[in-house]
Amino acid sequence: MCDLSDKVAIVTGGATLIGQKVVEALHGAGAKVTVGDVNAADGQALADRLGDGVTFLETDVTDDAQLSRLVDTTVERYGGVDILVNMAAVYLDEGLETSREDWLKALDVNVVAGAIATALVAPHMEARGGGAVVNFSSISAKVAQPLFFVYSTTKGAIAELTRVEAIRLAPKGIRVNSVSPGWTWSNPIRDMSGGDRAFVDRIGGALHMLGRIGDPEEVANAVVFLCSDQASFITGTDLAVDGGYSALGPEQMGQPLEELLARMEAGS
């Protein structure tokens, strides 16, 4: 449905599992893609696997010179930039005990780098008549979660960054949106669970209306949609790809509610 033929995309953080599916989906829709990530082994393997039209460049997004090289090389190789996906992230998080150094690093990778990358690609997008930026936010941006503190704060900042970028870049024909995935089968979740998808679906399933965690391909589909002309009147907004996580209130499927329903059915 989404045709990205003749489009050129940059994906930061594209070496990880979700990133690989995003790159595959953009490439599958016809786009040329440059991937920037500090993980050179997985990034290069991805480019080798997908072949023509996918380039990997080892890039630390906190380094302005490396970000500029990512953009300039893309323009030289593929003729311009139409799409930017800001996905690189770190999970540095010690809650209230987090050091200033870790706070600044997390903000740098998760928030500031995406803002700088967007500023760098904007003139190239404008030269081609417009473009699309997709920032990676998260369900963590919207609610308090016991496991996250710094990470959630950075993802909340991305939600507002998306809105202010959208208003600044609309006159240039550039749309800016974010996606907020729920729990998604990914490198961190795979590693945390020892690769046990059924276990994660059981634990995470109770938190998502659809009763399971998401697949990285499902996040990638949403990114491709937002990058395509199918989303031509969508900017400044967030697309939840979370199986209903963010629409659930405290009344989730679980023991207390089931006990109440059982009593009601028993008429007591």
Whole-number Å distance between alpha carbons of 16 and 88: 9
Q: Which is nearer to ligand NAD, 126 or 158 (by Cβ)? A: 158
SS3 130: coil
Q: Which is nearer to ligand NAD, 84 or 262 (by Cβ)? A: 84
Catalytic residue among 78, 91, 151, 245: 151
Q: Is 151 a catalytic residue?
A: yes
Burial class (CB in 10 A: 0-12, 13-18, 19+), 171: exposed
Q: How far is the CB of 260 from ligand NAD (least distance, A)?
A: 31
Q: Which tokens go with 171?
A: 């006159």
Write the CB contacts of 218 (distance below 8 Å, at least 6 apart in sequence).
184, 241
Q: Which is nearer to ligand NAD, 12 or 261 (by Cβ)? A: 12
List, as one string, the DSSP characters of 10-40: EEETTTSHHHHHHHHHHHHTT-EEEEEES-H
Cβ distance 150 to 103 under 8 Å? yes
Q: How far is the CB of 9 from ligand NAD (least distance, A)?
A: 16
Binding residues for ligand NAD, rule: CB under 6 A, are 12-13, 15-19, 37-39, 59-62, 87-90, 109, 136, 138, 181, 183-184, 186-189
Cβ distance 20 to 33 under 8 Å? no
Q: How far is the CB of 263 from ligand NAD (least distance, A)?
A: 36
Q: Which is nearer to ligand NAD, 122 or 241 (by Cβ)? A: 241
Q: How far is the CB of 136 from ligand NAD (least distance, A)?
A: 3
Q: Which residues are catalytic?
A: 151
